[in-house]
Structure 1
Amino acid sequence: MLSILGFSMIAVFMYLIMSKRLSALVAIMLVPIIFGVIGGFFTELGPMMQEGVEGIASTAIMILFAILYFGIMIDSGLFDPLISKILKIVKGDPLKIVVGTAILSMTVALDGDGTTTYIITVSALLPLYKRLGMNKIILATVAMLSMGVMNMTPWGGASAMAMASLNLDASELFLPMIPVMGFGLIWVLAVAFILGKGERKRLGVVEIQHDHTNSEANSELAATTVSHDYRRPKLVWFNFILTIVLMASLIIDFMSLTILFMIAFAIALLVNYPDLKDQQDRIAVHSKNALAVVSIVIAAGIFTGIMSGTKMIDAMAITLVSFIPESFGPFLPVIVAYASAPFTFFMSNNAFYFGVLPIIAQAADAYGISAAEIGRASLIGQPIHVLSPLVAAAHLLIGLVGTDFGDLQRFAVKWALGTVTVMTIAAIILGVI
């Protein structure tokens, strides 16, 4: 009975989200409460929900301060020298331009926000693509491939949801994935080289005036990102060193990621914007993105709390295990790595990570496979997810580049599948899954 109730709840939850009858934020809180009442757990729901929310509070706080930190870095102009350098180096060589597109989009995507990544990358490089007559779909494809890998960071969304739904912390889920992401980024650079070489063969190397193109690109960039009043060019080296120290600290794992981002954000905000009014303005600018992600993670505590507290998740796992052939058990992580691609393409990350992933993790436990391993595998399909029409940032990219969604998907999907395959192989070799 609990199994039927659980699967019914997941089906209703996914239907409401995918049909846009309810927002994910509302559905993830109200649907489990309703089914909990139907299951006769009315008086026990309060403690279950409280426990669920408390379990993911640290993750939500970490995500909040990570978004604010990288927002400050972008506002202060940390990436401006990189943009200028790339524009200066690539000049009129299509090969260098496409590789430069990959490097720039990877760097900016550190903040985990597809909207910011696409705006900065396209604004900086679209003038060059137009000037040389290069295929604009390549620009969109390379930016999406970069975002598909970088979206696996804890503050990017997917990892946060996986951590929340499986009650894991970043050291269990994300840190082992860093070298896997490294292989994914190498693949993206390889794809950029292949596509750039094709454009160079088609167009040749064109001599252009650097200053004019750079000015045009910087003008568009300034108009679409942040006012120059908030740029801090004299603090670029300080911000760079602070970010390097932060990244190194994350890898060393000597302190909670939550505390590290809180401290780094406080230092960055104080040094870059000592004036209280400027601090308030910068926080206000980035609070919208932060609230959208953090609120859904906190709300997920109700969902996971009720699923666990009522034992619905256990009953569903037992049912699911009964349908899995014994011989398939040891290969569940690899199956999940590939299955997460179509799952997250046809449904939102919310529906997959909160609706499907916990069930798979419970099923895998019967074969001695940890929830952390399944969680890591579930992130590998993100390069396909970013191509989904359900992703709002993808529509922004299409608008900025001026191409058709179908054309982009047909062009990019094979390269995105390549990213999934490379990262899956890397994860197996490295023992991550």
Structure 2
Amino acid sequence: MLSIIGLLTIFIIVALLISGRITPIVGLVIVPIFGAFFAGYNFKEIGEFFGSGIDSVISVVIMFIFAILFFGVMQDAGVFDPLINTMIKVSRGNVIAVSMATVVIAAIAQLDGSGASTFLITIPALLPLYKRLRMSPYLLLLLVGTSASIVNMVPWGGPLGRAAAVLGVDVTELWRPLIKIQVIGLVLLVAVAFVLGMREKRRIVRKVTDDSSDEGESIFDEVEDESTKTANSLHRPKLLWINVVIALTVIGLLVWGKVPAGFIFMIGFSLALPLNYRTVNEQMDRIKAHAPNALLMAAIILAAGSFLGILNGANMLDSIATDLVKILPAFIVPYLHIIIGFFGVPFDLLLSTDAYYFALLPIVEQVVSGFGVPSISIAYALIVGNIIGTFVSPFSPALWLALGLAGLEMGKHIRYSFLIMWGFSIVLFLITMALGVITF
């Protein structure tokens, strides 16, 4: 019964997010509360679950608020304009080249193993370029999220660390066979970005240039005209290099990982704001300009924390993972790791990362290893099959951060990205099997 209630709760929330009928805050707060009541928990217990969930995301909320304010000031001051203009000149408005470059940039940014840092680095820098080229920001999120997911198979990333802890193996040993999968995955994703870039270019051409004989050139001309308009009064070109140093220092500290991200952005914002805007009125205007986005998405992340706290505290996620194995027909049990890996991305809509690795993986490993399948192969199946869906799941706080940075909606992101991510995951999964990393 607990699993049924948990599944219904998740399905209702996902359906509401995809339909766009209510705001994410309402769905993430109200639906889990009703689910917990039906599961037999009282208000006091639900309040404790809530507190636990909020504690798990409060650092993300703090980071989010000050990251939005910091990158907002950087963008107002024109820090990203040289990068955008250079990329436009190099690509001459080539949407395909920008799409492919996005994959590479996101892969480099993800080397620290933090999805939140990757989104904080890539989205503020690339979003203005996407907007200027009239490219869909959902394509940006799709490419950055997929690229980050592939690179996230590093030893210091969350998934491998969890899997290694469950199996009791050295995380570096677990990682080595996956290096070639990461390389193949990134090359494959660059090819996918090429195809998606072609599709995006056709969409832009249809929208912008109905009767142009030279599609790419007409887009570039429009972009170039826009880029040569009079500089915004908020820009601070004389302070460009100082701002760049501040931005690079903030990003470097994020990658270093020794200082809390929220603290880094708090300091960065406190330095950048008075440096670029000297009067109190100017400073307050910049805060007021960016505060609505920061506070709205901070509220959504807090609501997501409540959602995760209630489902975890009520043991709904663990129950789903346990009962899933029990109800499967006996003849498919020896291939359970293959089946779950194949459907790994849809599982991201049902289970949090912790539930997937700490509840589902041990059960699958215990069952399938009895048929002679190596435990490490079982882990590879679940890792490769699931990891691509990390950033299409409402269970990912980093994804909510990305949505806030880009001003996008979870439901639309799922509609845009889910099938592409799942298809990519299946191809990568089959390649991993063909290379013998996954056995059965």
Give the TM bin, normalised by the shorter chain. 0.5 to 0.7
Structure 1 residues 78-97: aligned runs within 5 Å:
78-90=79-91
The match for 2:242 is: 238
Specify the alignment match of 2:326 in structure 1.
Answer: 322
The corresponding residue for 2:4 is: 4
Per the alignment, residue 168 of structure 2 pairs with: none
- Confirm or deny: 8 A CA contact 2:341 2:386 kept in the other structure: no
- Code of the aligned partner of 1:83: I
CA separation of 1:49/1:192 partners in 2, compared to 1, >3 Å: closer, same or farther? closer
1:78-113 alpha-carbon deviations (Å, 9 max, x no partner): 12112333344455xx8x674256548987995479
SS of the residue 2:83 aligns to: helix
Aligned to 1:263: 267
Partner of 1:313: 317
Q: Is the contact between residue 29 and residue 299 of structure 1 (CA under 8 Å) also seen in structure 2?
A: yes
Structure 1: how far apart are the matches of 2:123 and 2:266? 22
Which stretch shows the higher mean deviation, 9-18 or 276-285? 9-18
Answer yes or no: is the 8 Å Cα contact 1:112–1:153 preserved in 2. no
Deviations 1:363-409 (A, max 9, x none): 22434699x99799756247989xxxx99859xx9xxxxxxxx9x99
In structure 1, the residue matched to 2:71 is 70
1:291 equivalent to 2:295? Answer yes
Change beyond 3 A, Cα 1:231–1:97: same
For the residues of structure 1 that align with 2:27 and 2:265, how far apart are their CA atoms? 30
| Residue 301 (structure 1) aligns with | 305
The separation in 2 between residues aligned to 1:99 and 1:21, in whole angstroms, is: 36
Give me the whole-angstrom Cα distance separating, in 2, the residues matched to 1:50 and 1:241. 39
Is 1:147 paired with 2:144? no
Q: Name the SS of the counterpart of 2:22 in structure 1.
A: coil
Partner Cα separation in structure 2 for residue 119 and residue 294 of structure 1: 22
One-letter amino acid of the counterpart of residue 258, structure 1: G
The total of aligned residue pairs comes to 360
Separation of aligned partners in 2, 1:383 and 1:303? 17
Structure 1 residues 332-371: aligned runs within 5 Å:
334-335=341-342, 339-340=344-345, 352=349, 360-361=356-357, 362-367=359-364
**Counterpart in 1 of 2:31?**
31
Task: Give the equivalent residue in structure 2 for 1:380.
Answer: 388
Mapped to 1, the partners of 2:78 and 2:289 lie a distance apart of 15
Could you tell me which residue of structure 1 aligns to residue 276 of structure 2? Answer: 272
CA distance in 2, matches of 1:277, 1:182: 50
Partner of 2:226: 217
Letter aligned with residue 147 of structure 1: L
Residue identity opposite 1:33 in structure 2: I
Query: How far 1:230 moved relative to its partner?
Result: 1.4
The SS at the match of 1:230 is coil
Cα distance change of structure 1 residues 260 and 285 upon mapping to structure 2, 3 Å threshold: same
TM-score (norm 1): 0.62
Output the amino acid matched with 1:217: E
d(CA) in 1 for partners of 2:100 and 2:2? 48
CA distances 1:60-81 after superposition (whole Å, capped 9, x unpaired): 2122222222222222111211
Alignment partner, residue 61 of structure 2: 60
- Aligned pairs (5 A) from 1:40-59: 40-42=40-42, 43-59=44-60
| Whole-angstrom CA distance in 2 between matches of 1:84 and 1:76 | 15
Distance 1:97 1:424, change over 3 A: same
Partner Cα separation in structure 1 for residue 323 and residue 233 of structure 2: 59
Give yes or no for contact 1:101–1:121 (8 Å, CA) kept in 2. Answer: no
Deviation at 1:250, TM superposition (A): 2.3
Q: Which amino acid aligns with 1:364?
A: L
Is residue 184–residue 423 contact of structure 1 (8 Å, CA) maintained in 2? no
* One-letter amino acid matched to 1:363: L
Q: Percent identity?
A: 25
Kindly provide the CA deviation profile for residues 274-320 of structure 1, in whole angstroms up to 9, marking residues without a partner as x: 43222222222222322332212111222222222222222222111
How far 1:208 moved relative to its partner? Answer: 8.5
Deviation at 1:194, TM superposition (A): 8.0
TM-aligned CA deviation for residue 259 of structure 1: 2.3
CA RMSD in angstroms comes to 5.4
d(CA) in 1 for partners of 2:425 and 2:244?
Answer: 28
TM value normalised by structure 2? 0.61
2:389, 2:421 within 8 Å by CA — same for their partners in 1?
no
Among 252, 257, 278, the alignment partner of 2:256 is 252
State the Cα distance separating 1:50 from its structure 2 match.
Answer: 1.5
- For structure 1, which runs of at least 5 residues remain unmatched after alignment? 127-138, 159-169, 345-351, 398-405
The runs of 5 or more residues in structure 2 that have no matched partner are 107-117, 150-155, 162-170, 202-211, 366-374, 394-402
Aligned pair partner of 1:99 in 89, 94, 97: 97
CA distance in 2, matches of 1:291, 1:182: 38
Which amino acid letter does the alignment assign opposite residue 85 of structure 2? S
User: Which position in structure 2 is the counterpart of 1:348?
Assistant: none
How far apart, in 1, do the equivalents of 2:195 and 2:5 lie? 50
Q: Which residue of 1 aligns with 2:109?
A: none
Contact 1:72 1:282 in 2 (8 A): yes
Mapped to 2, the partners of 1:207 and 1:9 lie a distance apart of 47
Is the alpha carbon distance of 1:44 and 1:415 closer, same or farther for their aligned partners in structure 2, counting shifts above 3 Å?
Answer: closer
